[in-house]
Structure formats: C-alpha cells, structure tokens
C-alpha cells in the first residue's frame, strides 16, 4: 500500500469494564483529522439495545454505519424471537460482519458490552473480525494510558459505582497524555435494569471527589 492509499489514522479512547453488578462503557468526545481537532462533541458510545452498548474508535463514517446495522439486527432479533439478543450473540454477529468485509474493511476498533441472563460481558472486536471477551478493555490511541490505570486498579469484585470512578480515572489519564483524546466523557452503566447513562453533573461530582480537574 502506497502512502497516498493509507487510511487516515484517527485517535480516541474508549473502554469497557465488567463489574459484579453492571458493565461500564465509557468514551471521551474528541475527533481528530491528523493534528486538527475536528469535533469536540463526537458520539462514540451507541446503545444497540437496552442491555447492549457499543463504543467505537476509528473512522467515524464506518463506526456510525456499523452501529446502525447492529442496532437494526438486534431489533429484528427481538421482534422475531420475542426475546433480546445475548451479548455474546451480538458480538458474534458484529465479528461476522467485520470478517465478511475484510477485503473492503471497516476501519474501526470496537468494544461491545452489556448485561444479559448470564451476567456482564465486554468484547473487543478488531477490523478483521476478531472477537475477544475480557474483564476490561480499552481501544484507541489513548488506550495505553487507560490500560495503565485499569491494570493497577481493576479487581474482580468491583461494584458498578467503583467501576464508574475507575473509568473516569482511566479516561482522565488518557486525556492528559494523548492529544487525540479529550473534551469530556460519556459513561453508561448497563445492568439488569437496562441502560443507565451517568449524568454530566454526576460525572463532575465524581471528578471533584477524585480530585480530578
């Protein structure tokens, strides 16, 4: 591939954490084009169903297309079977879509997470269709900094509330050192009650408590 054929690199930070009573998905808001901060209110967290969410890193158009595609498939599954799609099934579906387009790939790195009858799950998906479950994951250019915080602070019995604080710490570390990450957070808790976004005022309160400026 010649230089003029190379896809544009994009930066971001997204993460997912499995807690004992919920799954945390979190992203920051910045979108970049090279060294230009193109947008400061970019949506990188999508609700696929009331119990499943998707975070996106990579090309915005590809990410939005995939989010719409997977959401439609989840809705059709619920209508046909009168029950929600499991998180594993949603991850497998997404992996199959990505794998089926490997020669004309979607330039994305995704996290798909949620809560079903088997508990909480987070899957990391790559552009070639790889799907790997884990207890915590991070994607994007800021992920090395986020992983540093997650590695030091994650434990198996984290509550969802503790998970929200950990997500804030990890995103803050990425935003401090990765120029492609910044401009605020989106955080959601997914549990047996469904999709529960954390309000901006609550995020500010937690940041103040954690002494994050």
Tokens of 68: 């719409």
Calpha distance 129→102 (Å, rounded)? 8
Lateral strand order in the sheet of 131-134? 45-49, 52-58, 108-116, 119-125, 131-134
Strands in the chain per DSSP E? 14-19, 22-28, 31-33, 36-39, 45-49, 52-58, 108-116, 119-125, 131-134, 136-139, 185-191, 194-197
Task: Select which of 12, 14, 55, 56 is catalytic.
Answer: 12
* Angle subtended at Cα 17 by Cα 55 and Cα 174, rounded to the nearest 5 degrees: 70
| 12 labelled catalytic | yes
Q: Does the CA dihedral 209-150-144-58 come out positive or negative?
A: negative
Q: Residues 6 or more apart from 195 whose CB is under 8 A from it? A: 47, 50, 51, 53, 188
CA atoms within 13 A on the CB side of 196: 15
Helices (H), 82-128: 87-100
Give bridge partners of residue 18 from the DSSP assignment.
23
Provide the annotated active-site residues: 12
């Amino acid at each position: 591939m010649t230089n003029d054929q190379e896809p544009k690199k994009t930066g971001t930070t997204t993460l997912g954490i499995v807690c004992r009573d919920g799954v945390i998905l979190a992203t920051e808001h910045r979108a970049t084009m090279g060294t230009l901060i193109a947008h400061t209110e970019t949506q990188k967290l999508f609700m696929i169903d009331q119990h499943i969410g998707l975070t996106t890193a990579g090309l915005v158009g590809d990410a939005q297309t995939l989010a719409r595609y997977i959401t439609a498939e989840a809705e059709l599954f619920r209508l046909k079977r009168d029950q929600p799609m499991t998180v594993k099934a949603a991850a497998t579906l997404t992996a199959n879509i990505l794998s089926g387009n490997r020669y004309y790939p979607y330039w994305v790195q995704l996290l798909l997470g949620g809560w079903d009858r088997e508990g909480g799950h987070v899957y990391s998906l790559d552009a070639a269709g790889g799907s790997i479950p884990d207890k915590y994951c991070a994607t994007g250019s800021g992920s090395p900094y986020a992983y540093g915080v997650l590695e030091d602070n994650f434990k198996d019995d984290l509550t969802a509330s503790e998970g929200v604080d950990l997500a804030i710490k990890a995103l803050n570390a990425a935003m401090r050192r990765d120029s492609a990450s910044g401009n605020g957070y989106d955080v959601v808790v997914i549990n047996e009650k469904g999709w529960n976004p954390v309000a901006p005022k609550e995020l500010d309160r937690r940041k103040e408590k954690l002494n994050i400026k």
